[in-house]
Structure 1
Amino acid sequence: MYRFQGGQAGTCPRRRRRFGAGVLLMLVCGSAVACAPAEPAASPCLPKVDRFLREATGAQGYAGAVALVMHEGQVVHAAGYGWQDLAHTRPMQRDSIFRIYSMTKTVASVAALMLMDEGKLDLDDPVARHLPEFSRLQLFVGGSADAPQLRPVANTLTVRHLFTHTSGFAAGGEGFEAATQLLDRQHVRDAATLADYSVRLARVPLASEPGTRFRYDSTSAEVLSRLVEVASGMPFETFLQQRIFTPLDMRDTGFEVPGPQRGRVADLATMDAQGDLVLADEAHARHPGIALRPYRSGAGGLYSSAADYARFAQMLLDGGEYHGMHLLKPGTVALMMRNQLVHTALPRPVTEFSDAEGFGLGGSVLLDPAGKGRTASAGAFGWSGAASTYYTIDPARKVVAILMLQYLPGGKDDLPRVSTPFYNLVDEAMEP
């Protein structure tokens, strides 16, 4: 039986066998063909991408997916695959809605960059200039969470550090366990508002000097989102709606999904110990469309659709412009997509995940495609979300590729990640 937590059981084959990379060898490369979206769920104009994702969402793979690819501003592939729900009663649609988690960070970064364009923020501003609670930061230098040894922070915490995850916040990692315990004791993640989050976080000693360590997590993005509120004089949610979502016609993007549209939210799946897909143990999995976090999180709080996020990404590819509106200056977008880790004191200007990628202002920057197993151009920019949502912007190829699934990775016997083969198949299709 197919165990479906929080719902009715249905019949579904076991998922112990996994689809593998072998399917890629059977895919025949075809040229990209521009096509208009068709109804209701698919216009699969890239045959090799279509075949790969049909296999990936088959009986032994993910429940469902949506893929959208744009080339030179035109849709060349848009399709839904598999099922929106684990009970297999609703086929995935192109306009299905997903929890995009950390893809929210790029949106929050764009919001802050818009304020930078207006002269209200600067990359080298001390964070304390805008948020006084960060004016007396301490650094954890030893001891335990019960008896910490602290000293004043020597380096100034700047806005650039927030963008690049080099703030030094106690965000975990080997050797930083005691400092992270201090973070947990402030119950920062239980904050009711971004202002509350910022105040709680500022009480926690830093784990490392700002600018000396890349450590990816939510804390920097939440503080950056609070900066948006303070610099703009309006709630973060309101700024995003008025300045980004409405201009880009992102009608399906927000921190909650309106009641009548909640049937479009894809089930949030994970894998149980028996190798079956089950509903994740989250309130917003049991009640799709409710807020993901108590506050309006700029680190991981948004729902969105593939089409909405593609418009956002295409705006960036077009240098900050959308239908004649300028959301960002072209130079600001170029700065955003440039590796900013060269401006830090890191031993090497790369992320903790790979020596082949750096980090810009809100997303990764591909430095060595071969080293990352990618066929994209150097300089490709993008990021992902915790529940298997992905985007990439390749300025050299003028390509935007979006892949939306709704799956929280689990243990070692897990479904294979599909983003890299998906991206590479898209790249092949873009070759002349």
Structure 2
Amino acid sequence: MSSERLERIGPVLQRYVDEGQLVGVVSMLARRGEVVHFEEFGNLNKNTGQALEKDSLFRIYSMTKPITTLAVMMMYEEGKLQLTDPVERYLPAFANARVAGPGGSLVAPDRPMTVQMLMTHSSGLTYGVFGDTMVDRQYRDGNVMVSPDLDTFIERLGQIPLQYQPGTRFHYSVSTDVLGALVEAVSGQSLGEFFQQRIFGPLEMDDTFFQVPADKLNRFGTNHTYNPQSDTLEVSDNPNASNFVNRQTFESGGGGLLSTAEDYMKFSQMVLNGGELDGVRIIGKKTLEYMTQNHLPGIFGDNGQHSPDTLPGFVDGTGFGLGFAVIEDPAAAGGVGSEGEYYWGGAAGTIFWIDPVEELIGVVMIQHMNVQVPLRATFKALAYGAIVD
């Protein structure tokens, strides 16, 4: 990669900070196993002006999802479950699931919700926050997402109808949180214990966890939300008062982890390497190849189809694998990249992508809900523009 062209990245990200569009950002690129860019810009804490550092801690929200999905696939490799297994086999709260029908009616599922459907957000579940259907309202009224533990989360969720027939459409949802409960049910460990013992410990991801340890609180900053009325970023979550410090809800496999850019790069490099990093194997190469292909056509068959408008940021030319979105047509996706590239992001603006063709990984960490700048597209253009071989 061209060092001269990599130097274009810094001024662009610094400008976002200087213009007040980002408070702080850590950006990282690796190619062919070597880190070629790693910089920090701006502040960690908007209230105090504390500077961001390369090892600052970030709420990665939905970038938790690939990790949780991979944990389930590790157990699949061990013969402890099948992807076609009905979820109710492991989580009996779903045994009497019903589907919301016309006029508030409830109907039986045409086919059972499977583990694979959870991994691809085709389970019929929803989130309760992206719409206002009868089912969405029940999620909110039932306090599903603020359950104190995973057992309570599953108990509450099992009493609410599915929004769609399982396996008929992609709909972003709490499916990966259910996978977290599945990890606990099958492994006999808490989700955090499984992660630490089987993934974080072996990969030396020492700064990835569900709750900020007291001795690392100084590395955890403010989260922000864009206010369209004032056209400014306002603090929406202070470190000391944050649920990530004073945890009162369940360990969320869909969005509960904190991490650093360097830790998430370790996870991503392991994935790109085919399941191994620094002599430690986490999962099999063929398993990862299977995870990073588009599973939606196989699940849907003649039962439904994927519509790109069902998820913010889910663009044309894109399918969904097991825990990752997958680029099938870079031209249709509208940005530079490679066929077979896979990625995801988090609600506070964190992003990553893995390009197996170019052996390239990008990780960007920020803490902003409702980001107004095209950060992923811009960073990708800068990164691919530095490839000269």
* TM-score calculated relative to the size of structure 1: 0.84
Cross-structure match for 1:204: 160
| Equivalent-residue separation in structure 1 for 2:122 and 2:246 (angstroms) | 28
Question: Which residue in the other structure is 2:260 paired with?
Answer: 305
- Which of residues 322, 328, 332 is equivalent to 1:361? 322
Compared CA separation, residues 175 and 394, structure 1 to 2 (3 A): closer
Aligned ranges for residues 24-423 of structure 1 at < 5 Å? 31-33=1-3, 46-87=6-47, 89-143=49-103, 148-171=104-127, 177-217=133-173, 219-272=174-227, 273-280=229-236, 282=237, 286-287=241-242, 289-290=244-245, 294-345=249-300, 347-349=304-306, 351=308, 352=310, 353-409=314-370, 415-423=372-380
Question: Would the alpha carbon gap of residues 227 and 205 (structure 1) be closer, same or farther in structure 2, given more than 3 Å must change?
Answer: same
Query: In 2, are the aligned partners of 1:186 and 1:200 still within 8 Å (CA)?
Result: yes
Distance change in 2, residues 1:32/1:123 (3 Å): farther
Structure 1, 48-57 or 339-348: larger mean CA deviation = 339-348
Aligned-partner SS, 1:199: helix
* Aligned residue pair count: 382
Deviates more, 1:71-80 or 1:49-58: 49-58
4+ residue runs over 6 A deviation: 173-176
Cα pair distance change 1:365/1:79, threshold 3 Å: same
Between stretches 267-276 and 322-331, larger displacement belongs to 267-276
Deviations 1:48-106 (A, max 9, x none): 11221111221332111000100000000000011112146322111111000000111
Query: 5+ unaligned residues in a row in structure 1: which ranges?
Result: 1-30, 34-43
Asked whether the equivalents of residues 103 and 390 of structure 1 are also in contact (C-alpha less than 8 Å), the reply is: yes
Aligned partners of 1:380, 1:237: CA distance in 2, in Å? 28
Residues 167-211 of structure 1: per-residue CA shift (max 9 Å, x gap): 112445999711222333322112111111111111111111101
**CA-CA distance at 1:232 after TM superposition:** 0.8
Amino acid at match of 1:336: M
- Counterpart position of 1:10: none
Query: Could you tell me how far apart the structure 2 residues matched to 1:364 and 1:118 are?
Result: 25
Q: Closer, same or farther in 2 for the Cα pair 1:123/1:429, shift >3 Å?
A: same
Q: More deviation in 48-57 or 116-125?
A: 48-57
In 1, the alpha carbon distance for the partners of 2:38 and 2:283 equals: 27
Distance 2:189 2:20 in 1: 47
Higher normalized contact order (CA 8 Å, seq sep 6+, divided by chain length)? 2
Please say if 1:424 is aligned against 2:385.
no
Q: Do the aligned partners of 1:167 and 1:209 also contact (CA within 8 Å) in 2?
A: yes
1:17 maps to: none
CA RMSD of the aligned region, Å? 2.1
Gaps of 5+ in 2: none
Answer whether contact 2:128 2:140 (CA < 8 A) is retained: no
Distance of aligned partners of 1:275 and 1:287 in 2 relative to their CA distance in 1, 3 Å threshold: same
Provide TM-score, normalisation by structure 2.
Answer: 0.93
Q: Using a 3 Å threshold, how does the CA distance of structure 1 residues 187 and 173 change in structure 2: closer, same or farther? A: closer
